[in-house]
Chains A and B, each alone.
Chain A
C-alpha cells in the first residue's frame, strides 16, 4: 500500500493521455457489457413471449415438411392435453407488397381459442371467426402497418398453394407487436376442392396446450412416441424452444457480434499497451535512477503493472456503470413506449458486471505486463547507459 501514492500520481502524469486511454477502455467495456446482455435479454424476451404450457409438434425432418392432418385428433387424446390446433402455412402475399411480408396460417377456428387463451382477442371476435368462413384474425402490428380495420376485405395471393383467397377481417390480436394473420382452415380446404384437388389433408405445425406446465414433458414424449415408425415422425418442443430455434440466425448474429467485440477488445489491449509503453519510455531516466537507488525489479514491475491495471479497472468500472445506466434508461423508456418494450429485457446483471470488470482488469494486465517486465528486467547499468 505504501506504493499506492506513487502509482496514483504517476497515473496522472499525462492527464490527457490517461483520460483518452481510460475513455477507450470504458467505451469498449460498455460495448461488451451491452452485448453480454443480449443472450439473457433474448431469453427473457422468449420467456415473455412464450407460454410455459404451450408446445409445438412438427415433422422431425423440419418445419417445412407436413404431418397428416389426422394426427392432430390423436394428439387431442393424449392425457393432459387441454387443446390442440393444426396450423398450415399459406404463404400469402399482399398485393401492395407483391411478396410474403407477414406470416399467414390456415388454422382450426374452433380450437384456436383453447390453445391460445392468453392472446388478447375479444370473445365476440372469436365467435365471428367461427361464424364467417372467410373470416381472418389479424395482429395489431399488421392492422397498424396497413391501416386495416375490422370489416375490411383483404386479398392474398398464395405462393404455396394454387388458390388465391379473399378475407374479411373479423378480429384483432390486440398486442402492439403481433404480426399474425390467421384464417379458417376449412376455407382453404374448400378452395382446394373447388380447384379440383383432394383438399387440405396435412398440417404444418400442431400447437398444443397442456393443462399443467408439469405435464409438458410427458406430453412431448407421448406425442413423439405415437408418431414413431410412421411416415411423418414428429419432434415436439416447448414454445420457447421453438422460437429460439426459429430465431437461430439471430443467435448466429450474436455470436458474430461477440467475436467482433472480442477483436475490438484486443485492439483496446494494443492501444493500452502502446500507452503503457510510451509511459515507460518517457520515464526511462527516472526508472533507471529508481533501480540505481535500490528499488528491486519486482517493485518496479509491480508498480508499473499496477498503474496499467488501475487505469483499466477504474475505466472498466466507469464503463460498467455507464452500461448499467444505459440499460436502466432503456428499461424506463420501455415502460413509456410499446415499441421500445422488448429493450426492457436487456439488463446488466451482477454476472455481466463481474464479466465487465474482469475484462477491464484483463485488458490492463495484458497491456501492462510486457512494457513493465521489459523495464524491470533490464540490468540497472544498462538502464543508466541508455539514458545518460
Chain B
C-alpha cells in the first residue's frame, strides 16, 4: 500500500469457509492486506465477492477458518464470542445499510446505547450522545424518534452511535445502500470528515462507485479473492468509469479491458 504509517489492521492469509447444507462455500481465500491508522478504505466487488465476509472478520463479528486477523496488535482469533463482543464495544464503531435504530428510543438514547456497556453515569452518557449528534449535524434532532427522521437522518444517527465510544476503527457496511443520491453523497462526505477531522480509520463495504471519490484506497474482491496488480487497477478503473461516465462505459471496460481508456 506504500504508506509509511503503522498498520492498524493486518490480515495474513485469511480464508473463510462456510458449510451451507451439504456444500462448503469458500467465501474468502488466502487474503492478505494491511490498513494503516487514519485511512479511509473501501472493500468493493460484486455480490458474493467476499467483501462483507472480510468486513465481518476485520470488525470481529466473525472469525477466520484459517489465517490471522490482527487489529491494533490484537489477534481476533484468540478471543471467544463474549471477549469479541467486549472488544468490539471498545474498539469498533459499526454502521449498517439498514440503520435498525431502536424505535422506542429517541435519537439521543439510540446514540447512547453503546455507552450502556461502560461505567459512565447517565448524565455523561447523554452528554456524549449529544456531542456525537452535533458531529453528524443532528443537534436539533436529539429528542426525535426514528419514525420522525428521514432515511439520511437515521443513517446519521447510526453514524453518531458508531462514533460515540470514540472507537479506533469505524466499519460501515453499504452505508449508502438505502439512501438517495443526495443523502448518499452527504453520508460519504461525513465519513470523510470523520477521517480528516478525527483521524479515524474507516473501512467501508460498498457497491457505490461514488465512494471512490471519498476513500484513500479501494480493495477489490472477486469470488473470494483479493484482486492485485493489473486486475486491481482494471477493477479500479471500471469503478471510476461507472462513477464518472455511466454504467455502459463501465460494462464495456470490464468486458474489453483498455477500450475505454
Measured CB to CB, the residues of A under 8 A from B are 2-3, 5-6, 9-10, 12-13, 285-286, 288-299, 379-381, 384, 388
Contacts and interface: CB of A to CB of B under 8 A. Distances in A.
Contact of B88 (A9, A12, A292, A384): A292
Which of B81, B122, B161 has the most chain A CB within a 10 Å cutoff? B81
Given A3-B116, A381-B61, A297 B94 contact: no
Given A285-B98, A294-B86, A299-B117, 17 more contacts: A2-B116, A3-B116, A6-B105, A6-B113, A6-B116, A10-B104, A289-B94, A289-B96, A292-B88, A294-B114, A294-B117, A296-B86, A298-B82, A381-B56, A384-B56, A388-B97, A388-B173
B100 A293 contact: no
B181 interface: no
B90 A294 contact: yes
Nearest to B59: A292
Given A2-B116, A381-B61, A296 B100 contact: no
Interface in B97-135: 97-98, 100, 102-105, 109, 113-114, 116-117, 122
B88 A293 contact: yes
Contacts of A295: 85, 89, 117
B62 interface: yes
A13 B104 CA distance: 6
B98 A290 contact: no
7 contacts: A6-B102, A286-B102, A292-B94, A293-B161, A294-B89, A294-B114, A297-B81
A187 to B, nearest CB: 82
B81 A293 contact: no
B143 to A, nearest CB: 14
B100 A289 contact: yes
A384 B59 CA distance: 13
Contact of B85 (A5, A285, A286, A380): A380
Contact of B82 (A285, A293, A296): A296
A294 B85 contact: yes
Contacts of B117: 294-296, 299
A294 B100 contact: no
Contact of A388 (B59, B98, B102): B98
A25 B190 CA distance: 49
A291 to B, nearest CB: 7
Contacts of A294: 85-90, 92, 114, 117
Contacts of A380: 61, 81, 85
B84 to A, nearest CB: 8
Contact of A293 (B89, B97, B105, B122): B89
Q: Which of A9, A10, A380 has the most CB of B within 10 A?
A: A380
Contacts of A291: 85
Contacts, number: 73
A12 B89 contact: no
Nearest to B99: A289
Interface residues of B, number: 32
* Residue among A3, A12, A286 facing the most chain B CB atoms (10 A cut-off): A286
Q: Most B CB atoms within 10 A — which of A2, A3, A298, A299? A: A2
Contacts of A384: 56, 61
A12 B86 contact: no
A203 to B, nearest CB: 76
B63 to A, nearest CB: 9
A288 B62 CA distance: 13
B91 to A, nearest CB: 9
B113 A293 contact: yes
Residue picked from B86, B93, B96, B98, most chain A C-beta under 10 Å? B96
A89 to B, nearest CB: 71
Nearest to B84: A380
9 smallest beta-carbon distances between A and B, as pairs: A294-B89, A9-B104, A381-B62, A294-B88, A285-B100, A289-B100, A296-B85, A294-B85, A293-B114
Contacts of B81: 297, 379-380
A292 B61 contact: yes
A388 B105 CA distance: 22
Contacts of B98: 285, 388
Nearest to B162: A293
A291 B88 CA distance: 9
B114 A297 contact: no
Given A292-B88, A293-B161, A2 B122 contact: yes
Contacts of B82: 296-298
Given A293-B94, A297-B81, A379-B81, A12 B104 contact: yes
Interface string B188-217: 000000000000000000000000000000
Contacts of A2: 116, 122
Contacts of B103: 13
Contacts of B105: 6, 9
A285 B86 CA distance: 20
A248 to B, nearest CB: 55
Nearest to A11: B104
Contacts of A9: 102, 104-105
A288 B122 CA distance: 24
A279 B122 CA distance: 27
A388 B55 CA distance: 14
A290 B110 CA distance: 11
A291 B114 CA distance: 10
A151 B143 CA distance: 86
Contacts of A293: 88-89, 93-94, 113-114, 161-162
A388 B177 CA distance: 12
Contacts of B61: 292, 380-381, 384
Interface centre among A289, A290, A296 (most CB of B within 10 A): A289
A379 B94 CA distance: 17
Contacts of A290: 113
A9 B61 CA distance: 27
